[in-house]
Structure 1
Amino acid sequence: MINLLDAAGGRNYRDPEISPDGPKETEALEGGVEKQNALLVEQWADKLYNAPAETILEWAHEHAPGPLVVTLSMENTVLAELAERHLPGADFLFLDTQYHFPETLEVADEVERRYPSHRLVRAKAQLSRAEQDQVYGPNLYLRAPGACCRMRKVEPLAVHMSPYAGWITGLRRADGPTRAEAPALSLDATGRLKISPVVTWTLEETEAFERDNNLIIHPLTRQGYPSIGCATCTMPVAEGEDPRAGRWAFSAKTECGLHQ
């Protein structure tokens, strides 16, 4: 369906609310896993709400009724290090939007070298960046940032989540008002466990853990970028500002959709 007119070039482009053909959703859990997950959240969510990261991950390793995957934005590598200690063999998942800073891709390569016992899955969108420009028009991230995030983040994550009973996220309550009451343990929309072991950490605690453990550092986090997404949609922030103030600064958007 073609119904979006590009006023600048006079071309018709596909409506950005219509994603490319191909898989877009997570497969249903099998064998009663969804029910087991729901019971685990009911029994444990309150107990783990303010628990230390190590406790949360050890709980996940013991109780999850299937494989878990650790999602990495490469903004920092704290989750990779914690998984190395507490989730042996868990896969790592990186959403390669093809709009990342070069430094982000370099961190991903370093993670793959430093943690060889964890397979790094690089999830990409149905269309390459050039193909998206051709089908939907250039600069979709400016004209329809929600659609761009859906096609390049939300849908690839959904497709690649199918083999897993749950996922480990880097959510922190200190990252802004939309995350201020984020749980450490919950169910996502597919019935999978959503586990956030560093949810109580501040940015300062995160940076201290990086220093104390000689972790891979994303250089932009030391150059005014406390929260890093796609290069096209991430700006530096002033000292004292909300860490996520530089994300989609050109619009009212505050989340990409992965945690909504």
Structure 2
Amino acid sequence: MDPCIETPKQQTVDIDQLNQQLDKAHPKSILTWCLENLPEGLIQSTAFGASGMVIMDLLYKDLNPNPSIPVLFLDTLHHFPETLKLANDAQAHYGVDLQIFRPQGVTSRAEFAQHYGEQLWETDLEQFHQLTKVEPLRRGLEQLQVATWITGRRRDQSSTRAKMPIFECDRDGRLKVNPLANWSYKDVWNYLVNNQVLYNPLYDQGYASIGDEPLTTMTKPGEEERAGRWRGKARTECGMHA
């Protein structure tokens, strides 16, 4: 049985039971449950991909949490310029409390290369992700005193996420919530278009999933959504969600 969580209402909730209860629920209902039962230490973690923008729109246009939920963004120093612009535009549009965490001790891609070598992602991909994502995420979750974090992951994104639950515990015992787990790529884009939500213009150029610029390529017809990430490398995740 998965661990239990204790809500501010002093109700002990079994994660297995909660997953059964909300597995088919609309993402808005899942987010509403989180706001009502887990308001303390609740954040959204996003790299401003399509799914993350759906969650942000649901939270800040429809649910309007008060106080605001912090949005944790990992600036790896290797994002596409379009991603960084979207982060700024989304912050201005929704008025979110954007909390940015970067690799320790460096503030630019040039500094990163000076400290760790040119194209570290080619020579040591594990260390690259440890420095740019895993450690900054862990530091961000600790500094923000996070108890629950919301992600935009979906089951249809890749075979490794096919059985992902709505609610799960991360490696440090925090609750992780995946409100869009049941949604498809088509569901996400129907929502974005119908609600005129901001999105990364790189999607219009043939990118189906957008990560770090050196490790992201366009997706070919018939490929999984995340096939353009780490192309040619035996990898499907960066380590953030291990």
Q: TM-score per shorter chain, which class?
A: 0.7 to 0.9
Please tell me whether the aligned partners of residues 157 and 226 of structure 2 are also in contact (alpha carbons under 8 angstroms): yes
Counterpart check, 1:134 vs 2:111: no
Aligned-pair CA distance for 1:42: 4.2
Give the whole-Å Cα distance in 1 for the aligned partners of 2:64 and 2:138.
22
Higher Cα radius of gyration: 1
User: How many residues matched?
Assistant: 226
Deviation string 1:5-27 (CA, Å, 9 cap, x unpaired) is: xxxxxxxxxxxxxxxxxxxxxxx
Corresponding residue SS for 2:6:
helix
Counterpart check, 1:79 vs 2:55: yes
Corresponding residue SS for 2:160:
helix
Please tell me whether the aligned partners of residues 70 and 97 of structure 2 are also in contact (alpha carbons under 8 angstroms): yes
Deviation string 1:228-255 (CA, Å, 9 cap, x unpaired) is: 0000000001112111111010311110
Counterpart check, 1:112 vs 2:62: no
Aligned-pair CA distance for 1:35: 5.0
Match of 2:43 in 1: 69
Q: Matches of residues 172-251 of structure 1 in structure 2 within 5 Å?
A: 172-251=154-233
Counterpart check, 1:146 vs 2:123: no
- Amino acid across the alignment from 2:6: Q
Aligned-pair CA distance for 1:144: 1.2
Match of 1:25 in 2: none
Give the whole-Å Cα distance in 2 for the aligned partners of 1:127 and 1:180.
37
Select which of 124, 129, 154 maps to 2:102: 124
Please tell me whether the aligned partners of residues 41 and 146 of structure 2 are also in contact (alpha carbons under 8 angstroms): yes
Select which of 62, 65, 71 maps to 1:92: 71
Aligned-pair CA distance for 1:65: 5.9
Aligned-pair CA distance for 1:87: 5.7
Counterpart check, 1:166 vs 2:148: yes
Give the whole-Å Cα distance in 2 for the aligned partners of 1:167 and 1:40.
17
Match of 2:82 in 1: 103
Corresponding residue SS for 1:120:
strand
Corresponding residue SS for 1:161:
helix
| Unpaired stretches in structure 2, ≥5 consecutive residues | none
| Unpaired stretches in structure 1, ≥5 consecutive residues | 1-33
Please report the TM-score for the alignment, with normalisation by the length of structure 1.
Answer: 0.82
Aligned-pair CA distance for 1:136: 2.5
Give the whole-Å Cα distance in 1 for the aligned partners of 2:33 and 2:195.
22
Give the whole-Å Cα distance in 1 for the aligned partners of 2:39 and 2:54.
24
RMSD of aligned alpha carbons: 1.7
Deviation string 1:159-214 (CA, Å, 9 cap, x unpaired) is: 11121211000001010101001111111111111001111111111111001111
- Amino acid across the alignment from 1:83: L
Give the whole-Å Cα distance in 1 for the aligned partners of 2:64 and 2:37.
12
Deviation string 1:42-89 (CA, Å, 9 cap, x unpaired) is: 441222223210111111111116221111211221111011123611
Give the whole-Å Cα distance in 2 for the aligned partners of 1:185 and 1:199.
10
Match of 1:36 in 2: 6
Question: How many percent identity over aligned positions?
Answer: 35
Aligned-pair CA distance for 1:217: 1.8
